[in-house]
């Protein structure tokens, strides 16, 4: 790789040179050699020297002019040890050398024309300059891990919601000030340059953002680890809000290139689909034929905070070899046919979560998941073999490798690792299974049945025939384990266990145990005799009735039999069986996982189950995105240690009543609110009052997250306002700006109706002159990490109001609490633990609890639910057309009835509505007392210390991965 870096790193080794030098590592495959780049900062002349030899004579630069920076390559053969010595004594860059580096990249690694230095060009040049700094640390980290041959964790996730990287990178490198000065010299501000970076469209929601926070913490804490994902060209989608609601267009984040990534053309692996399995002459299984593609690695550096450790996020892109381009067809005019193989390969990495209502969509999703698993495992195994040298001991694989599956998407890691170990490395089933189970672990992120993935057996058999064979063998072994544990004395109980726990759903039991459940056949002889005897006694008058009965029976028999349920592969069950650890992501969620979702497995293997409450990185989510509040915290705590040691945030508690702190706290909050008011005006056209309460709910649009409850509460508030005089409503209601953000999945009709409803309510209220600034409703389009970094610091009330027991954890609730936002919510997910830490008086609680939900749904189904009159009032108001001509009957009807698809208020909006609006009234009362509210805000930040991803990663490393930090001093 050819790069440059700032700083006078080689002062000792190159002291004979008469200019300030810059040292860069160009890692080659031969680890005994290095390439260095020396950059002249002051003089238009240069010298060449081999570090291990005598100095060469000074050469005159024949082309340099004053003000032009000349770069030369010096090839040196030195040991790793000496390179590390030079690395450790590298001098941090200053603003002048950074400005030189940016100028160089603007001229010599351009992606834009040379005429000007506008913001887009400035961003790319700045990012490339920062990447130079990261590459030095990146390569040194890789070398250290390889040399020490330590155990490494590999985090596999379908999503990594990185957000913008520039400010995070310079912040972690502690170069924010120097880069700001350098860009000022060049006529720009760091903030304006950073705003040119598009969010990396590699994720959608909390799953992906959690993965990115984890990578940040892994690097910061010096753990040897990598992330693996897919390089989506178009992300999920870019959300546009129109008069018709949400519309989706393709993401274009890669349109101008990505300055952070480095393509590794020498790191690629074959991935196969389809074909067939044959047995070779040696008795080994062979997977042959089918569709062959290639997964190519794109690497992104992930820097730690205040450490040289820089780990890797490896993303896979897909293609086919050039020889698969059908030149004959192309020249014959059959252009589509000629490009078919390439198109089929490339589309695997086009879209995150392609629509799966069609069979083609299902196949594409399965291809995505297998590509991630296969390419990543091939890479992991290749790295293990290289580090083992000529002495590969496969029994040590779990002692060097930990694979974490982030949700069920990477489940195919289990059969794929088995396939590689058995078919390619020649192991027995027992050896491969023992290694696999000790290597792989699974994080569960949901209790929703639709998210506990199931794949069609038929589709999987067509696409991955060898893996289906392996899964069948795993299932058969599981059945044997269950019978061994529970015996056969209670066939009914045993059958329930097998139905619940098997990986293969709707499959017949293996023949070896099917007889246990066979019911004795009834003898037809007696029944026939009885029928004859009865017929002998039938009178003529009864004949017609019996004939009618026979006719009905014949009709019933002639009907088509009930459809046979499809055969499915339950991926979550495979995760539990194939790994050594299963963890939930909040205390309440982990209990639900053990007692409900996987209760039978928990009874069988209780030692597998753990809790690992989620966390978020305090660097990005307080320090970098909320400078004003960060400065206040640092002042009152006395130093910046809290950025790494978040337990120090608890020290704020002793100052919570301090008037000076409260004034500074409110000033910081208002500064952020002014920024958001300007942003909302730019993005939506609506003006808002920064002195109003900022009430925010930003997350994926889903019925269980209950944005519908929030907007119905706002509708009720609006209706009550309209019924009052101006004086009455000003006395009754605190001014609020209610902000929504989040994407509804493109095929999720009900979620898209909710988006449309929110925007219609906003359009009505925001133009109502009677209401004015007393109430505003804003839907922020295309919510992403960058928008979150703006909204969260300005938030005062945040809504986390999911139906209890349905949110695994949540991480946005943690980010809001860290930024001094007071939460209103149910006892769901991490809300439970947040409330415990910040104090019950500093959290607005309402709603049914998780253990009550099942019974409440039964009561609803039995017709026992009596809706609150206020709930009926608000539904009637919506149906009256108060918010425009759109017909919201179907949306409102989902809250009515007692049961049935799309009916019965499954998410208990009606049940919790009255206590929700009563809780909102308490919010108004608390907000009027600004001293009380500010104290609540301070105590939320103070109590958020537990929810750092650093704490979470320490727990994963100790309890699941068994890895140790390895720090470069």
- Tens of pLDDT, residue by residue over 654-678, are 999 999 999 999 999 999 999 999 9
In sequence order, which residues have a C-beta less than 8 Å from that of residue 582 and are 6 or more positions away?
Answer: 441, 442, 444, 575, 576, 593, 598, 601, 608, 609, 610
> Phi/psi at 177 (nearest 5 deg)?
-65, -45
Judge whether 200 and 253 are in contact, CB under 8 Å.
yes
Q: What is the mean pLDDT of residues 426-437?
A: 97
Longest CA pairwise span in the chain (Å): 127
pLDDT at 560: 66
Of 49, 700, 752, 800, the active-site residue reads 700
pLDDT of 73 over the 60 cut: no
Percentage of residues in the chain with pLDDT exceeding 70?
A: 85
**Is residue 283 very low, low, confident or very high in pLDDT (cuts 50, 70, 90)?**
confident
* DSSP code at position 198: P
pLDDT at 520: 59
pLDDT at 928: 97
pLDDT digits (tens, 9 = 90+) for 557-583: 456 677 889 999 999 999 999 999 999
Of 145, 308, 400, 445, the active-site residue reads 445
User: Which position has the higher pLDDT, 217 or 524?
Assistant: 217
Q: What is the mean pLDDT of residues 745-772?
A: 96
Q: What angle do CA 103, 97, 199 make, to 5 degrees?
A: 60
Q: For residue 576, count other CB atoms closer than 10 A to its CB.
A: 25
Of 815, 860, 875, 946, the active-site residue reads 815
Lowest-confidence segment of 148-152, 549-553, 835-839 by average pLDDT: 549-553
> By C-alpha distance, which of 778, 573, 544, 581 is closest to 680?
778
pLDDT at 754: 98
> By C-alpha distance, which of 91, 154, 99 is closest to 129?
99
Q: What is the mean pLDDT of residues 130-149?
A: 95
Question: Catalytic: 700?
Answer: yes
- The pTM of the full predicted model, rounded to 2 decimals, is 0.87
pLDDT digits (tens, 9 = 90+) for 210-228: 999 999 999 999 999 999 9
pLDDT at 516: 66
pLDDT at 903: 82
pLDDT at 92: 81
| Mean confidence (pLDDT) of the chain | 88
Residue 230 bridge partners (DSSP):
316
Percentage of residues in the chain with pLDDT exceeding 90?
A: 79
Q: What is the mean pLDDT of residues 617-640?
A: 96
pLDDT at 596: 93
Distance CA 934, CA 932 (A): 6
pLDDT at 530: 38
**Is residue 85 very low, low, confident or very high in pLDDT (cuts 50, 70, 90)?**
low
Judge whether 409 and 372 are in contact, CB under 8 Å.
yes
3-class SS at 503?
coil
pLDDT at 1: 40
3-class SS at 845?
strand
pLDDT digits (tens, 9 = 90+) for 591-611: 999 999 999 999 999 999 999
Per-residue CA distances from 815 to 294, 620, 655, 739 (Å): 39, 10, 21, 16
Judge whether 246 and 753 are in contact, CB under 8 Å.
no
pLDDT at 572: 97
Judge whether 569 and 455 are in contact, CB under 8 Å.
yes
In sequence order, which residues have a C-beta less than 8 Å from that of residue 353 and are 6 or more positions away?
Answer: 158, 204, 236, 365, 745
Distance CA 86, CA 78 (A): 11
Judge whether 100 and 167 are in contact, CB under 8 Å.
no
pLDDT at 519: 59
User: Which position has the higher pLDDT, 209 or 82?
Assistant: 209
**Is residue 281 very low, low, confident or very high in pLDDT (cuts 50, 70, 90)?**
confident
Of 126, 141, 436, 811, the active-site residue reads 811
Q: Are strands 152-156 and 401-406 parallel, antiparallel or unpaired?
A: parallel
For residue 535 the two structure tokens come to 């017929």
Of 49, 308, 705, 776, the active-site residue reads 705
pLDDT at 465: 97
Q: What is the 3-state secondary structure (H, E, C) of 12-61?
A: CCCCCCCCCCCCCCEECCCCCCEEEEEECCCCCCECCECCCCCECCCECC
pLDDT at 136: 94
Q: What is the 3-state secondary structure (H, E, C) of 757-807?
A: HHHHHHHHHHCCCCCHHHEEEEEECCCCHHHHHHHHHHCCEEEECCCCCCC
User: Which position has the higher pLDDT, 729 or 7?
Assistant: 729
pLDDT digits (tens, 9 = 90+) for 26-65: 333 333 333 333 333 333 333 333 333 333 333 334 334 4
pLDDT at 901: 66
Q: For residue 192, count other CB atoms closer than 10 A to its CB.
A: 12
> By C-alpha distance, which of 611, 789, 767, 771 is closest to 684?
767
pLDDT digits (tens, 9 = 90+) for 381-394: 999 999 998 899 99
Distance CA 893, CA 901 (A): 11
Residue 843 bridge partners (DSSP):
823
Question: Catalytic: 121?
Answer: no
Q: What is the mean pLDDT of residues 911-934?
A: 98
Residue where the block lists tokens 């809250």: 895
* DSSP code at position 898: S
pLDDT of 277 over the 90 cut: yes
3-class SS at 959?
helix
Residue where the block lists tokens 């396939």: 419
Distance CA 958, CA 964 (A): 8
pLDDT digits (tens, 9 = 90+) for 666-709: 999 999 999 999 999 999 999 999 999 999 999 999 999 999 99
Question: Catalytic: 699?
Answer: yes
Distance CA 446, CA 901 (A): 21
Sign for the CA dihedral angle at 848, 850, 856, 857 comes to positive
pLDDT of 370 over the 60 cut: yes
> Phi/psi at 444 (nearest 5 deg)?
-90, 130
pLDDT of 123 over the 70 cut: yes
Of 620, 699, 756, 860, the active-site residue reads 699
Distance CA 423, CA 286 (A): 7
pLDDT at 322: 87
Question: Catalytic: 705?
Answer: yes
* DSSP code at position 695: E
Judge whether 318 and 349 are in contact, CB under 8 Å.
yes
Distance CA 730, CA 728 (A): 6
Q: What is the mean pLDDT of residues 179-200?
A: 96
pLDDT of 734 over the 80 cut: yes
User: Which position has the higher pLDDT, 171 or 80?
Assistant: 171
pLDDT of 545 over the 60 cut: no
End-to-end Cα separation, the chain, in angstroms: 25
Residue where the block lists tokens 């179907």: 890
pLDDT of 8 over the 80 cut: no
Q: What is the mean pLDDT of residues 221-245?
A: 96
pLDDT at 554: 52
pLDDT at 451: 67
pLDDT of 145 over the 80 cut: yes
> Phi/psi at 316 (nearest 5 deg)?
-100, 135
Per-residue CA distances from 751 to 553, 643, 894, 897 (Å): 46, 37, 12, 19
């Amino acid at each position: 790789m050819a790069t440059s870096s700032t700083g006078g790193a080689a002062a000792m080794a190159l002291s004979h040179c008469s200019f300030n030098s810059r040292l860069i590592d160009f890692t080659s495959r031969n680890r005994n050699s290095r390439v260095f780049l020396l950059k002249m900062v002051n003089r238009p002349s240069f010298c060449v020297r081999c570090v291990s030899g005598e100095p060469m004579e000074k050469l005159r630069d024949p082309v340099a002019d004053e003000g032009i920076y000349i770069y030369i390559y010096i090839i040196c053969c030195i040991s790793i040890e000496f390179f590390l010595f030079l690395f450790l004594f590298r001098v941090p860059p200053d603003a002048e050398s950074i400005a030189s580096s940016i100028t160089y990249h603007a001229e010599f690694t351009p992606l834009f024309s040379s005429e000007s230095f506008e913001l887009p060009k400035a961003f790319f040049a700045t990012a490339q300059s920062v990447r130079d700094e990261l590459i030095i640390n990146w390569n040194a980290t890789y070398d250290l891990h390889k040399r020490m041959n330590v155990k490494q964790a590999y985090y596999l996730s379908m999503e990594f919601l990185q957000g913008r990287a520039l400010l995070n990178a310079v912040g972690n490198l502690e170069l924010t000030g120097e880069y700001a000065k350098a860009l000022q010299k060049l006529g720009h501000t760091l903030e304006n340059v950073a705003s040119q970076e598009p969010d990396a469209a590699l994720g959608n929601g909390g799953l992906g953002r959690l993965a990115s926070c984890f990578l940040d913490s892994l690097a910061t804490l010096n753990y040897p680890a990598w992330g693996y994902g897919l390089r989506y060209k178009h992300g999920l989608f870019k959300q546009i809000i129109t008069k018709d609601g949400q519309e989706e267009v393709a993401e274009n984040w890669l349109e101008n290139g990505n300055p952070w990534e480095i393509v590794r053309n020498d790191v690629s692996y074959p991935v196969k689909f389809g074909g067939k399995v044959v047995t070779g002459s040696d008795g080994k299984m062979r997977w042959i034929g089918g569709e062959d593609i290639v997964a190519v690695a794109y690497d992104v550096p992930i820097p730690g905070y205040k450490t040289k450790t820089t780990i890797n996020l490896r993303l896979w892109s897909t293609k086919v070899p050039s020889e698969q381009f059908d030149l004959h067809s192309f020249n014959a005019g059959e252009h589509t046919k000629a490009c078919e193989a390439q198109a089929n390969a490339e589309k695997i990495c086009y879209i995150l979560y392609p629509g799966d209502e069609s069979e083609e969509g299902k196949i594409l999703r399965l291809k995505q998941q297998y590509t991630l698993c296969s390419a990543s495992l091939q890479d992991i195994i290749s790295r293990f073999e290289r580090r083992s040298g000529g002495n590969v001991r496969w029994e040590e694989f779990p002692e060097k490798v930990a694979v974490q599956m982030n949700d069920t998407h990477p489940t195919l890691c289990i059969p794929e690792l088995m396939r590689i170990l058995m078919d390619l490395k020649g192991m027995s089933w027992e050896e491969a299974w023992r290694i696999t189970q000790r290597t792989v672990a699974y994080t569960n992120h949901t209790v929703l049945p639709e998210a506990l993935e199931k794949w069609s057996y038929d589709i999987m058999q067509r696409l991955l025939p060898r893996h289906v064979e392996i899964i069948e063998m795993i299932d058969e072994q599981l059945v044997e384990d269950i019978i061994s544990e529970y015996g056969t004395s209670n066939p009914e109980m045993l059958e329930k266990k097998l139905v619940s726990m098997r990986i293969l759903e709707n499959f017949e039991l293996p023949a070896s145990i099917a007889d246990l459940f066979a019911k004795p056949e009834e003898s037809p002889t007696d029944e026939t005799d009885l029928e004859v005897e009865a017929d002998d006694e039938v009178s003529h008058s009864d004949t017609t009735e019996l004939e009618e009965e026979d006719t009905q029976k014949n009709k019933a028999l002639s009907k088509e039999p009930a459809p046979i349920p499809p055969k499915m592969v339950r991926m979550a069950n495979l995760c539990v069986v194939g790994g050594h650890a299963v963890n939930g992501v909040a205390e309440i969620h982990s209990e639900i996982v053990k007692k409900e979702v996987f209760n039978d497995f928990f009874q069988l293997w209780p030692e597998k189950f753990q809790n690992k409450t989620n966390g978020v990185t305090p660097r990005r989510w307080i320090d970098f995105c909320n400078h004003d509040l960060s400065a206040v915290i640092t002042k009152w705590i006395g130093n910046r240690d809290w950025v790494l040691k978040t337990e120090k945030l608890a020290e704020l508690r002793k100052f919570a009543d301090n008037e000076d702190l409260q004034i500074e706290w409110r000033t910081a909050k208002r500064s952020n609110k002014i920024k958001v008011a300007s942003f909302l005006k730019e993005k939506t056209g609506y003006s808002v009052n920064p002195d109003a309460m900022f009430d925010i709910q930003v997350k994926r649009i889903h019925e269980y997250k209950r944005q519908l409850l929030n907007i119905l509460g706002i509708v009720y508030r609006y209706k009550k306002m309209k019924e009052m005089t101006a004086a009455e409503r000003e006395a009754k209601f605190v001014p609020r700006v209610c902000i929504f953000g989040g994407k509804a999945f493109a095929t999720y009709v009900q979620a898209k109706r909710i988006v449309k409803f929110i925007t219609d309510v906003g359009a009505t209220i925001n133009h109502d002159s009677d209401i004015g600034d007393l109430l505003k409703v804003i839907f922020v389009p295309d919510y992403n990490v960058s928008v979150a970094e703006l909204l969260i610091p300005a938030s005062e009330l945040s809504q986390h109001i999911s139906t209890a027991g349905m949110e695994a954890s949540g991480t946005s609730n943690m980010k809001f609490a860290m930024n001094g936002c007071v939460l209103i919510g149910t006892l769901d997910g991490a809300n439970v633990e947040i409330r415990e830490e910040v104090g019950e008086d500093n959290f607005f609680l309402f709603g049914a609890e998780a253990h009550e939900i099942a019974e409440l749904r039964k009561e609803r189904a039995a017709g026992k639910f009596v809706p609150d009159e206020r709930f009926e009032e608000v539904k009637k108001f919506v149906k009256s057309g108060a918010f425009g001509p759109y017909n919201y009957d179907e949306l409102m009807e989902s809250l009515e009835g007692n049961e049935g698809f799309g009916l019965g208020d499954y998410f208990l909006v009606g049940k919790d509505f009255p206590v929700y609006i009563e809780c909102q009234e308490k919010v108004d009362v608390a907000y009027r007392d600004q001293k009380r509210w500010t104290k609540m805000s301070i105590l939320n930040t103070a109590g958020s210390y537990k929810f750092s991803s650093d704490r979470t990663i320490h727990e994963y490393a100790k309890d699941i991965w068994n890895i140790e930090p390895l720090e470069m001093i």
